[in-house]
């Protein structure tokens, strides 16, 4: 395994805030950044080069491959096939296979269940009739989730009873979905793990994640004892998932803290919003560890730098509080440079570290 030397160019597919924070971490280690996306976005403020093309434009991807030494992606709602073809031209880390599994709720659940993970009961639903059958088997309350393209609570509809079936099916546009039993949980948490090219991995202490309207609102470390008690089991599962995929980079698994142990919710083949606290709250951030992993460098320490760390997302007009936030002594403000404030849009975040 030879490390990519500083001065090499990292290609990032996607121009969002995750690409922006990856770009900052990459620049700190002396790498150059080439962003590939259909439209400019927050990552373009920190790049060296930008290719504007659709994600399935093979000719543009082939040209992009010539200008970069390694490619990574910053979100999963892209087709895996063009990324697999790109992987024949230049190393893509994590692999297109990891992308194909993590972007599909049925594939990711089967994959994780095979490795010993426990998910809420679920059934695949591809027609209105199958929804009735799934309700009969799983019962209500339940959640209908599209198999693909769901994020931040989008592509989801809750069913309090079977009477809600029509409305739920309409709400998700009749797209292929899964019906999932509603989990009674007190806490949600995530495991953010980095796996290097040598197969070694490190993971961060799990944050307690709080959601408002299906969107992550805050992550807090350390998490309460009920979550800490499930850390070892959840991190071991994340490690098995990463090993089984021969994964390189940061991988995130989200869990509900159930009464009898962690219940797997979903995974993301990338750095994750619930890991943003690591920029100031851990010795090595998730972004730096992702860059280290894909460049073949040794992974950095995931130790926490304070006695308590809290990351608060600034969603929609919450970002207008930036002047008050920046005046707080323990606050680290991050704004993503998005010009238009929209409801539900992630505009930035703030991390508070108490030493």
Contacts with ligand AMP, residue ranges (CB under 6 A): 120, 143, 145, 150, 153, 180, 182-183, 188, 211, 214, 254, 265-266
Contact 16, 41 (CB under 8 A): yes
User: What is the Cα–Cα distance from 330 to 335, expressed in whole angstroms?
Assistant: 16
Could you count the other beta carbons within 10 Å of the beta carbon of residue 151?
Answer: 15
Class of residue 17 by CB neighbours under 10 A (exposed 0-12, middle 13-18, buried 19+) = buried
Give the number of C-alpha atoms closer than 13 A to the C-alpha of residue 50, restricted to the C-beta side. Answer: 18
Strands (DSSP E) contained in the chain are 9-13, 32-37, 49-52, 70-73, 122-125, 142-146, 156-159, 177-181, 187-195, 201-203, 208-212, 215-221, 249-258, 261-268, 308-315, 331-335, 346-354
Distance, in Å, from the CA atom of 69 to the CA atom of 7, rounded to the nearest integer, reads 10
Residue with Cβ nearer ligand AMP (21 or 253): 253
Give residue 211's region: left, alpha or beta (phi > 0; psi -120 to 50).
Answer: beta
How far, in Å, are 10, 87, 107, 125, 250 from residue 97 at the CA level?
20, 10, 11, 24, 15
- Smallest distance from ligand AMP to CB 262, Å: 13
Nearest approach in angstroms of CB 274 to ligand AMP is 10
Least Cα distance to 189 among 247, 121, 258 occurs for 258
Q: Shortest gap between Cβ of 153 and ligand AMP (angstroms)?
A: 5
Give yes or no for a contact between 255 and 193, defined as CB atoms under 8 angstroms apart: no
In the complex, the smallest distance separating the C-beta of residue 1 from ligand AMP, rounded to whole angstroms, is: 34
Give residue 280's region: left, alpha or beta (phi > 0; psi -120 to 50): alpha
Cβ distance to ligand AMP smaller for residue 147 or 325: 147
Give me 252's structure tokens: 């995130």
CA distance 241 to 253: 9
Whichever of 38 and 214 has its CB closer to ligand AMP, that residue is 214
Least distance from ligand AMP to the Cβ atom of residue 223, Å: 15
Pairing label, strands 32-37, 9-13: parallel
Least Å from the CB of residue 119 to ligand AMP:
9
Name the residue nearer to ligand AMP (CB basis): 138 or 295. 138
Nearer to ligand AMP, 36 or 75 (CB): 75
**Residue whose CB is less far from ligand AMP, 143 or 353:** 143
Q: Cis omega (within 30 of 0) on the bond before 44?
A: no
Nearest-approach distance from CB 220 to ligand AMP, in angstroms:
15
Shortest Cβ 216–ligand AMP spacing (Å): 8
Q: Which is nearer to ligand AMP, 95 or 252 (CB)?
A: 252
Q: Which is nearer to ligand AMP, 183 or 253 (CB)?
A: 183
Q: For ligand AMP, which residue has the nearest CB?
A: 183
Whether 245 contacts 238, CB under 8 Å: no
Residue nearer to ligand AMP on the CB measure, 188 or 280:
188
Give least dist CB 69 to ligand AMP, A: 34
């Amino acid at each position: 395994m030879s490390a990519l030397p500083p001065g090499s160019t990292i290609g990032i597919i996607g121009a969002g805030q995750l690409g922006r924070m990856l770009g900052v971490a990459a620049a700190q280690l002396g790498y150059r950044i080439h962003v590939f996306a259909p439209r400019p976005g927050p990552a373009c403020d920190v790049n060296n080069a930008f290719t504007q093309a659709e994600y399935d434009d093979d000719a543009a991807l082939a040209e992009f491959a010539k200008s970069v030494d390694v490619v990574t992606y910053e979100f999963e709602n892209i087709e895996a096939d063009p990324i697999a073809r790109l992987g024949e031209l230049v190393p893509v880390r994590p692999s297109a296979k990891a992308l194909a599994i993590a972007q599909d709720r049925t594939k990711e659940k089967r994959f994780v269940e095979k490795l010993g993970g426990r998910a809420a009961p679920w059934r695949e639903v591809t027609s209105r009739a199958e929804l009735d059958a799934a309700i009969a088997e799983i019962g209500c309350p339940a959640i209908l989730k599209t198999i693909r393209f769901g994020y931040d609570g989008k592509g989801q509809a809750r069913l309090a009873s079977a009477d809600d079936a029509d409305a739920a099916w309409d709400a998700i546009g009749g797209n292929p979905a899964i019906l999932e039993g509603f989990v009674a949980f007190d806490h949600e948490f995530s495991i953010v793990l980095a796996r290097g090219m040598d197969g070694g991995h490190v993971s961060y202490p799990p944050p307690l994640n709080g959601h408002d309207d299906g969107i992550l609102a805050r992550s807090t470390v350390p998490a309460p004892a009920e979550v800490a008690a499930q850390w070892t089991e959840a991190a071991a599962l994340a490690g098995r998932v990463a090993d089984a995929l021969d994964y390189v980079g940061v991988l995130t698994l989200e869990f509900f803290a159930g009464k009898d142990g962690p219940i797997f919710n979903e995974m993301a083949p990338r750095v994750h919003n619930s890991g943003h606290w690591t920029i100031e709250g851990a010795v090595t951030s998730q972004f730096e560890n992702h860059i280290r992993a894909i460049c073949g460098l040794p992974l950095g320490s995931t130790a926490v730098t304070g006695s308590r760390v809290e990351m608060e997302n600034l969603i929609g007009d919450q970002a207008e509080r930036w002047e008050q936030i920046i005046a707080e002594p323990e606050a680290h403000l991050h704004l993503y440079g998005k010009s238009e404030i929209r409801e539900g849009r992630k505009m930035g975040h703030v991390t508070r570290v108490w030493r």
